[in-house]
């Protein structure tokens, strides 16, 4: 059990989290020039990623007159709260409805999708049955197919069963995560010992109970990763709702904001709403990342001690 070898799945997130402390001692041995240039490259990229967010934050605090007339990277009069008030009251609060929809699609979709992916991956890792590798390989193939390419076929299928323009037309396709199955399988085969499952069986637990009470706990770090990926993927998914939905009350926030943005030329006030709406729409993602990242790291270290 303690001889667990790192596998591609868990190692990848681990490396990302630990890159800062892990790279420090090694860097000291390298020459200062290499270290400085590495820092510069990282600094530049940090700036590159953060400046647009900064711009968005600053822009969202300005009223319309100051938006064009003042320095785009520094604050003018602080009217963020008036802006938010105007946004949420526009068209009877349709923006809040969109945020709620996004939370439903992404939260529920990622939860159910993670359970399905976890069960699939676990079954592929722990049960031996004919065609197992074939199934796994096809799932792996699924990782390579971009979701965008499937949107139109999905639309035509859903049209046949009259499910377009419904909650289900966006929710059901969101449950599928080939990458999640892949990750869950790799992780389950590395972290869930066969002996433990045997022990559970000897104690009289059924397969389903074994999975939920024993195996899931050991797979938590992988499942959290899958959940995060899936949550972000569904939250940012744009093309599928664009094709499927026509009823504004079903829109996720991405599609709603895109729709507004496409009319900025003729309805200039929408521009303010798009900016503030975009700022607010990334807050849930940041929160869920911060919350789950800690959990994710704890899970990883707990798993490695065992």
Nearer to other proteins, 50 or 152 (CB): 152
Q: Does 31 bind other proteins (CB under 8 A)?
A: no
Task: Tell the residue number behind the tokens 């949550």, with chain if given.
Answer: 231
Among 264, 282, 285, 292, indicate the residue that binds other proteins (CB under 8 A): 264
**Distance between CA atoms of residues 159 and 135, nearest Å:** 28
Least distance between other proteins and beta carbon 77 (Å): 14
**Distance between CA atoms of residues 264 and 208, nearest Å:** 53
Nearer to other proteins, 98 or 296 (CB): 98
Residue 175 to residues 83, 153, 171, 181, 291, Cα–Cα distance (Å): 35, 17, 7, 11, 22
Least distance between other proteins and beta carbon 232 (Å): 22
Residues 6+ apart with CB under 8 A from 149: none
Among 51, 267, 291, 302, indicate the residue that binds other proteins (CB under 8 A): 267
Q: Does 167 bind other proteins (CB under 8 A)?
A: no
Least distance between other proteins and beta carbon 115 (Å): 12
Picking from 245, 254, 259, the residue whose alpha carbon sits closest to that of residue 281 is 254
Helices (H) and strands (E) in the chain, counts: 17, 0
Q: Does 12 bind other proteins (CB under 8 A)?
A: no
Residues 6+ apart with CB under 8 A from 196: 214, 215, 218
Question: With CB under 8 A as the contact rule, which of the stretches 39-47, 59-67, 105-113, 226-234 interacts with other proteins?
Answer: 59-67
Nearer to other proteins, 90 or 295 (CB): 90
Nearer to other proteins, 259 or 284 (CB): 259
Question: With CB under 8 A as the contact rule, which of the stretches 23-31, 105-113, 247-255, 289-297 interacts with other proteins?
Answer: 247-255
Neighbours of 11 (CB within 10 A): 14
Neighbours of 295 (CB within 10 A): 14
CB 211 within 8 A of CB 200: no
Binding residues for other proteins, total number by CB under 8 A: 50
Q: Which of residues 277-306 bind other proteins (CB under 8 A)?
A: none
Among 77, 194, 198, 248, indicate the residue that binds other proteins (CB under 8 A): 248
Least distance between other proteins and beta carbon 111 (Å): 17
Is residue 140 within a helix (H) or strand (E), and if so which, with residue range? helix 132-144
Q: Which of residues 119-158 bind other proteins (CB under 8 A)?
A: 120, 131, 134-136, 138-139, 142, 150, 152-157
Q: Does 89 bind other proteins (CB under 8 A)?
A: no
């Amino acid at each position: 059990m303690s001889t667990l070898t790192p596998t591609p799945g868990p190692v990848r997130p681990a490396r990302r989290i630990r890159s800062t402390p892990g790279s420090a001692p090694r860097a000291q041995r390298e020459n200062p020039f290499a270290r400085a240039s590495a820092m510069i490259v990282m600094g530049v990229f940090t700036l590159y990623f953060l400046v647009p967010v900064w711009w968005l934050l600053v822009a969202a605090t300005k009223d319309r007159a100051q938006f064009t007339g003042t320095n785009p990277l520094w604050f003018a009069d602080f009217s963020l709260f008036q802006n938010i008030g105007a946004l949420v009251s526009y068209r009877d609060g349709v923006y809040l409805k969109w945020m709620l929809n996004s939370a439903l699609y992404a939260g529920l979709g990622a939860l159910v999708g993670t359970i399905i992916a976890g069960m699939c991956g676990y079954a592929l890792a722990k049960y031996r049955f004919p065609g197992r590798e074939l199934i796994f390989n096809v799932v792996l193939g699924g990782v390579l197919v971009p979701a965008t390419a499937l949107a139109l076929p999905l639309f035509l299928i859903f049209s046949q069963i009259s499910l377009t323009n419904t909650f289900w037309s966006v929710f059901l396709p969101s449950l599928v995560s080939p990458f999640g199955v892949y990750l869950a399988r790799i992780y389950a085969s590395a972290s869930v010992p066969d002996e433990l499952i045997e022990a559970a069986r000897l104690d009289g637990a059924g397969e389903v109970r074994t999975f939920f009470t024993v195996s899931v706990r050991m797979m938590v770090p992988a499942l959290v990763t899958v959940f995060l990926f899936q949550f972000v993927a569904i939250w940012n998914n744009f093309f599928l709702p664009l094709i499927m939905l026509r009823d504004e009350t079903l829109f996720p926030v991405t599609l709603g904001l895109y729709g507004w943005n496409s009319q900025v030329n003729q309805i200039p006030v929408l521009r303010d709403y798009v900016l503030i709406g975009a700022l607010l729409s990334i807050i849930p993602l940041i929160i869920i990342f911060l919350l789950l990242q800690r959990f994710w790291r704890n899970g990883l270290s707990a798993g490695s001690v065992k």
